[in-house]
Copies of this chain bind each other. A is one copy, B any other.
Amino acid sequence: MDDPFIIAGQELGSRLILGTGGAPSPQVLDEAVVASGTAMCTVAMRRVDPGTSGSVLDVLVARGVRVLPNTAGCRTAREALLTARLGREALETPWVKLEVVADDETLLPDPVELLDATESLVGDGFTVLVYTNDDPILARRLQQAGCAAVMPLGAPIGSGLGILNPHNIELIVAEATVPVVLDAGIGTASDAALAMELGCDAVLLASAVTRAQEPALMAAAMADAVRAGRMAHRAGRIPRREHAKASSPTRGMAAL
């Protein structure tokens, strides 16, 4: 029914991409992954801890979802390039979620380093899904640099504030030449539905599910919300009207 969701020539079976950060346990993560019906999950690259056994990969591989390494924590294009290469080596995938943030308080992208990093990673053969702010011009520049998907934030990471500036998201969607994925800020299902109604191709979220009181149930909610928002976008909503319009006939009233 829906048209396929394709990034860099690869079709993904779901328009909901799940970040794995924040899940209280692998068991809870597994339940959330299943309930979300997602086809791709992000992971971070960190130092091996000899103590630990088992890994997030066990869950994701067992569920057959694509693994997308990110560059979370990187502050410069250089760090991001090295981290991306390690992720590619470790997970045997040229895909990367590029994050280059300016500081740990806002976790907002640094536009200059982000653009540099995108150019470097594209040049190094990566398929770059880039986490960016909601500036339509930076989004344009990132696409000119060759990113495979542009992923604007709705609000700061983990804030749950939803989509603070829908107008910018609409501007980004209007001229996008690659898929637009709303990334960061989603707090609840209606936020995810709105993102899709604005014309986004997919939604990426982590905390909204992994830190909800019932992660699996929220994951199922997000799956339905993304589907709902996508269908509503395609169905062509009624226009907003300042005044009421009757939904029952005004003729044929009985004389009572």
Contacts and interface: CB of A to CB of B under 8 A. Distances in A.
Interface string A236-256: 111111111111111111101
Contact of A214 (B102, B224, B236): B236
A141 B218 CA distance: 35
Interface stretch (A7-15, A57-65, A122-130, A163-171): A163-171
Nearest to A21: B247
Given A46-B252, A108-B137, A158-B245, 10 more contacts: A108-B136, A111-B141, A157-B246, A157-B247, A160-B241, A190-B190, A193-B228, A207-B245, A214-B236, A215-B235
A159 interface: yes
A112 to B, nearest CB: 7
Contacts of A151: none
Contacts of A246: 21, 72, 104, 107, 157-158
Number of copies: 4
Contacts of A234: 214, 217
A193 to B, nearest CB: 4
A83 B254 contact: yes
A245 B159 contact: yes
Given A228-B221, A237-B187, A141 B112 contact: yes
